Amino acid sequence: MSSGFSTSAARNMFFGGTVFFLLVFLALTYDTEQALPKRDNRAAIAANPQIAAGKKIWENNNCIGCHTLFGEGAYFAPELGNVYKRRGPEFIKAWIKSQPTGTPGRRQMPDFHLSDAELDEIVAFLKYASEINTANWPPNIEG
């Protein structure tokens, strides 16, 4: 570091830069919140209480511990953000009910003992997720 540049100048640059970019970030956050209603399919949540209930089931069984949802989560099992479009509601319910497969050496999904009503709720949640505008991600139906 050149001697013309003092520690206090560096400190001021740090505080000034941080505050400035935090404010820009807050402004972008505000703008994002304004833009979200057109993209995030929130009307569906208000119309169908099964979606919020399905999200709780998703969380309470730690689905994200193996799967990804919009590419976030663990990379051990398939992407589920678009699974509703890939497989359809009946396949999803039958699949969850038939777990674990018990095939030797294959990855296993636990039996979560979901009731029929809960299966409908998780499907409602996955349908809602598949209708969010994710800028055309994933690249194809396989996720």
Partner 1 sequence: MQYKSQAVAKPYFIAAIGLFVAQILFGLVMGLQYVVGDFLFPHIPFNVARMVHTNALIVWLLMGFMGSAYYLVPEESERELHSPKLAIIMFWVFLVAAALTVLGYLMVPYATLAKITGNELLPTMGREFLEQPTITKIGIVVVALAFLFNISMTFLKGRKTSITTVLLIGLWGLAIFFLFSFINPDNLVRDKFYWWFVVHLWVEGVWELILGALLAFVLIKVTGVDREVIEKWLYVIITLSLITGIIGTGHHFYWIGTPEYWQWWGSIFSALEPIPFFAMTLFAFNMVNRRRREHPNRAATLWALGTGVMAFLGAGVWGFLHTLAPVNYYTHGTQITAAHGHMAFYGAYVMVVITMISYAMPLMRGRVANSKSAQTMEMWSFWLMTVAMVFITLFLTAAGILQVWLQRMGDTPLGFMAAQDQVALFYWLREITGVIFLIGLLTYIASFFKGGETEKA
CB of residue 16 vs partner 1: minimum separation in angstroms? 9
Residue carrying structure tokens 């969380």: 59
| Residue 90 or 105 having the CB closest to partner 1 | 105
Q: How far is the CB of 98 from partner 1 (least distance, A)?
A: 15
Within 13 Å of residue 47, how many CA atoms lie on the same side as its CB? 7
Radius of gyration of the chain (CA): 22
Nearest-approach distance from CB 85 to partner 1, in angstroms: 14
Q: Which is nearer to partner 1, 36 or 94 (CB)?
A: 36
In angstroms, the first-to-last Cα distance of the chain is 48
How many Å apart are CA 35 and CA 29, to the nearest integer?
10
Q: Which is nearer to partner 1, 96 or 132 (CB)?
A: 132
Q: Which is nearer to partner 1, 93 or 125 (CB)?
A: 125
Residue with tokens 């193996």: 66
Instruction: Report, in Å, the least distance between residue 13 CB and partner 1.
Output: 5
